[in-house]
Structure 1
Amino acid sequence: MSTVNTVDPAEVAKFEAMAAEWWDPSGKFKPLHMLNPCRLDYICTQIAAEFGRDLRADRPLAGLRLLDIGCGGGLLAEPMARLGADVVGADAAERNIPVARIHAEQSGLPIEYRHTTAEALAAAGERFDVVLNMEVVEHVADPLGYLTACHDLLKPGGLMVCSTLNRNLKSYMMAIVGAEQIMRWLPRGTHEWSKFITPDELYDLLRRAGLDPVDRKGMVFNPLGWSWSLSDRDLSVNYVTTSLRRA
């Protein structure tokens, strides 16, 4: 079981400074609001396939315990709760938690939010059917230690969805020059290009953490339609993976 502290205080401070803007679709988290439908499509499809759920049902994720690690203001936790999952949202940035709690209460959703880390949850013996690990791994101090903690948080047969940013010239131009410097969707310095992880590197890290990667897809932005879509081939900037804990 992992006991390593992988939290990077400087990264946490960045997101604490933006906490109040989580639910403003035109604010600093506009990119996540735009990306959310694409992320949800992938997440729901993977969970439904692994656990034999019918997404046309009223509460297709009922009976599944789900952790959204690095939950921020709850942009993913809330739709998961609406689909019937028993949701825990966790974030190392303390100021995110009251924002998420208040919004969930206003939405009538029974989500349990905690100011904690993956390592602390794993050490406490918490276990989940599903772990959502979205746009977090590029912000931690020790990716392998962090992913090992995520492995420990899964029940045998559990599923983790992990998304991050590829590391190449295109991702630098899109995520840092484009999103931070030109479009100003995010404050400068939100991302460090050197911390981006290639798909092959992430697959290697997942395997070393004890997980079995079973799928990966790109999430591609269309500037003409101002929308995101999933791609089997284009993993050049944003991409998402699914892995399983076999035992």
Structure 2
Amino acid sequence: MSDASSSVDPQEIAKFEAMAAEWWDPHGKFKPLHMMNPCRLGYVTRQIAAEFGRDLNRPRALEGLRILDIGCGGGLLCEPLARLGATVTGADAAERNIPVAKLHAEQSGLEIDYRHTTAEAIAASGEKFDVVLAMEVVEHVADPQAFLSVCAQLLESGGLTVVSTLNRNPKSYLMAIIGAEHVMRWLPKGTHDWAKFITPDELSGFLETAGMVPVDRRGFVFNPLGWSWSLSERDLSVNYAIAARAG
């Protein structure tokens, strides 16, 4: 994999390399992601269905769509999207994630094109996708604007991107850094850098500068009493996502 002209941050990649074997352990270091995954998957699939006129109640509802999941990790999003009929490519700059993802897909009887590569390298090859996902990635890259500009290059005309990240405010520091890393110990200390968190308005600006048009934004809200996640139109204070259409 070439890192030339890449937004990849080697120190961030090293963090996830160290945790690669635990991707599919719902009680391991990725427990928070397993807990949130149904919520973010629901948001992603509904946005895709709305954009491309698909009925999610039909089998293989996303058949015919090419989806790229950048920073795919162990494949927590790739696998359900493949089950919905999409042609899925999972890309990750952390090399150790890919064998884990490939093995789990094989055990699940799914065909997914997993690659140890960067968004920049795929864009340089000229490939295009109907949907580009960058979930919990942009807060780990060296240059968010450059990264999202590459995401835009990867989209077909009329394509859709969905980007999720963490807001930057005192509440997100309390929840994502103090709570998740120090109190609950869901994640190793240092997994997140609060200074790299991005506000919704900043992310919208990055997307617009990249030539995309934001069409929706939602918060992913954790309920500690019900120990569950839900979508919110108003509360984007910690985890949130923005969907944008290729301009």
Query: What does 1:227-242 align with in structure 2 at a 5 Å threshold?
Result: 227-242=228-243
Name the CA distance, whole Å, in 2 between partners of 1:125 and 1:231: 36
Q: How high is the sequence identity, in percent, across the aligned residues?
A: 73
One-letter code of the match for 1:148? S
Q: Could you tell me which residue of structure 2 aligns to residue 140 of structure 1? A: 141
CA RMSD in angstroms comes to 0.7
Equivalent position of 1:123 in the other structure: 124
Partner of 2:23: 22
SS in 2 for 1:12: helix
The alignment partner of 1:185 has SS state of coil
Indicate conservation of the 8 Å contact 1:4/1:145, yes or no: no
Match of 1:72 in 2: 73
Deviations 1:37-78, CA, capped at 9 Å, x for gaps = 100110111000000000011100000000000000000000
Whole-Å separation in 2 of the counterparts to 1:4 and 1:166? 27
User: Secondary structure in 2 aligned to 1:235?
Assistant: coil
SS, match of residue 226 in structure 2: coil
**1:50 match:** 51
Question: In structure 1, what is the equivalent of residue 40 of structure 2?
Answer: 39
Q: What is the CA–CA distance in structure 2 between the aligned matches of 1:4 and 1:94, rounded to whole Å?
A: 18
Cα deviations across residues 127-184 of structure 1 (Å, max 9, x unaligned)?
0000111000000000001000000000000000100000000000000000000000
Q: Aligned partners of 1:143 and 1:49: how far apart in 2? A: 27
* TM-score normalized with structure 1 length: 0.98
Q: Which residue matches 2:225?
A: 224
Q: Which amino acid aligns with 1:80?
A: L
Paired residues of 1:128 and 1:158 also in contact (CA < 8 A): yes
4+ residue stretches of structure 1 with deviation over 6 A?
none
**Structure 1: distance between partners of 2:226 and 2:44:** 22
- 1:207 is matched with which residue? 208
Deviation at 1:23, TM superposition (A): 0.1
Q: For 1:17 and 1:146, locate their aligned partners in 2 and report how far apart those are by CA, in whole Å.
A: 23
Contiguous gaps of at least 5 residues in structure 2: none
In 1, Cα distance between the equivalents of 2:227 and 2:152? 35
Tell me the amino acid that sits aligned with residue 206 of structure 2. Answer: L
For the residue of structure 2 that corresponds to 1:58, the secondary structure is: coil
Distance 1:238 1:135 in 2: 9
Instruction: State the number of aligned residues.
Output: 244
What is the CA distance between 1:4 and its match in structure 2? Answer: 3.2
